[in-house]
Amino acid sequence: MTDAPGPAPRPLADIRVVDLSRALAGPYATMMMADAGADVVKVEPPGGDDSRGWLPYVDRNGHRESAYYMSANRNKRSVVLDLKSPEGADRLRWLVAQADVLVENYRPGVLDRLGLGLDRLRELNPRLVTLSITGFGKGGPDGARPGFDQIVQAEAGLMALTGQPGGTPQRVGLPMCDILAGLFGAFGVMTALRAREHTGRGQAVETSLLAAVVGVHVFHGVGWLSAGVEPVLTGNRHPSIAPYGVFGCEDADIVIAVGSESLWRKFAPIVGLDADRPDIATNIDRVGRADALQKEIDALLADRTAEEVLAALDAAGVPAGRIRTVPEVYDWAQVRESMVLTLPHPTLGDLEMPASPLQLSEHGDPRREAPPSLGGDQDAVFAGYAPSGGRR
């Protein structure tokens, strides 16, 4: 008999990433690469990534670190470079000469003014894949504008899709523009690395917070562009399906998603409705009278507990759920089993944070390296550095 093979090397173990990005969109993208095994060198300015100073803080053992910063920077190494200085620029070029990927989220033109434009860096290393994440895109009349998440939530229509009917548009409670841009950016890098296997050359990958949100308008975008249907605020109800949203029970609100006609026929008798009643027999009928149907279902559930209703819906196979607070989510056994990562931190002790959403069957346990201290890897990363582009 032979021993069972151990876990395979992490998929990106041979990839080095130079990460010039700050705050969230770029760091989230590079954290995805780091989770997959890439050697991500986070290049920070003197004083560090701005997010190191953002709330909330983890305060333990006489040390304090930003939870915001740590949420997007695990499994990386940190160095400090002043890119405005000749030595800092030279050290960056030295890193780039050995890298596979460079990620940046400066405003368009900033790196060019520093003499570190991406075209010049790819001349130095033709295999280099570069990822640029901007607020509004590099071209167009608004390309030079700075982009922060809530500004783009407003400008990209996300706020206009979020809120109660007749009410004020609302921001989404997570920085979705940043996160989506990071996700698309990471996918773009993987696509470019795959292309490099065929061409031997790197290329420029670009995305923006604006493009990321417009890219996920899905049926709202097609509905307006091709059918002339403008979305309106629908609150917790789905604009295309009914009943689908939040409903009130005796002791708590719950969420119910009747997403097909077969589910409707299972759902209706549970709450005391006739599935064949002419005014609600089809989804088109139900969406057309969604307000009245909402009130009718709320009335039918008003004297039943949430636990009772959820149990009945679950037994029938109708999707439904409770509305959990963030603490309740992390107390939920379903989440704690595989969606919470514990890793050792050199000053704070064991830290818990959301784990990578991806699990690969052939690659063992996730990486568990704490977010780096500012410049904590300076000596190791620059071992062998020599001025003017010298290599190890």
pLDDT tens digits, 42-62 = 999 999 999 999 999 999 999
- What average pLDDT score do residues 349-376 get? 92
Spacing of C-alpha 328 from chain mean position: 21
Q: pLDDT per residue over 185-226, tens digit each? A: 999 999 999 999 999 999 999 999 999 999 999 999 999 999
* pLDDT number for residue 8: 81
* pLDDT number for residue 4: 58
- What average pLDDT score do residues 278-306 get? 97
Contact 271, 249 (CB under 8 A): no
| Rounded CA separation 158/155 (Å) | 8
Is the confidence at residue 7, as pLDDT, over 90? no
| Rounded CA separation 377/392 (Å) | 16
- What the block records as the tokens of 195 is 């292309």
Virtual torsion, Cα 180, 181, 184, 185, nearest 10 deg: -150
Pairing of strands 340-345, 349-354: antiparallel
Contact 43, 126 (CB under 8 A): no
- pLDDT band with cut points at 50, 70 and 90 for residue 5: low
Written out in words, the top-level CATH class of the domain with range 16-216+341-381 is alpha beta
The sign of the torsion formed by the CA atoms of 122, 147, 83, 374 equals negative
Contacts of 384 (CB under 8 A, 6+ apart): 390, 391, 392
The model carries a pTM of: 0.93
* pLDDT number for residue 178: 98
| Rounded CA separation 269/316 (Å) | 10
Contacts of 137 (CB under 8 A, 6+ apart): 143, 206, 208, 210, 211
* pLDDT number for residue 392: 35
Phi, psi of 4 (to 5 degrees): -65, 140
- pLDDT band with cut points at 50, 70 and 90 for residue 2: low
Catalytic residues: 178
Contact 286, 242 (CB under 8 A): yes
CATH, range 244-328: 3.30.1540.10
* pLDDT number for residue 141: 94
- What average pLDDT score do residues 106-135 get? 94
* Number of other CB atoms surrounding residue 344 within 10 Å: 11
**Domain segments of the chain: what residues?**
16-216+341-381, 244-328
- What average pLDDT score do residues 14-28 get? 97
What number of CA atoms fall less than 13 Å from residue 317's CA on the CB side? 6
- What average pLDDT score do residues 282-299 get? 96
DSSP state for residue 50 in the 8-state scheme: G
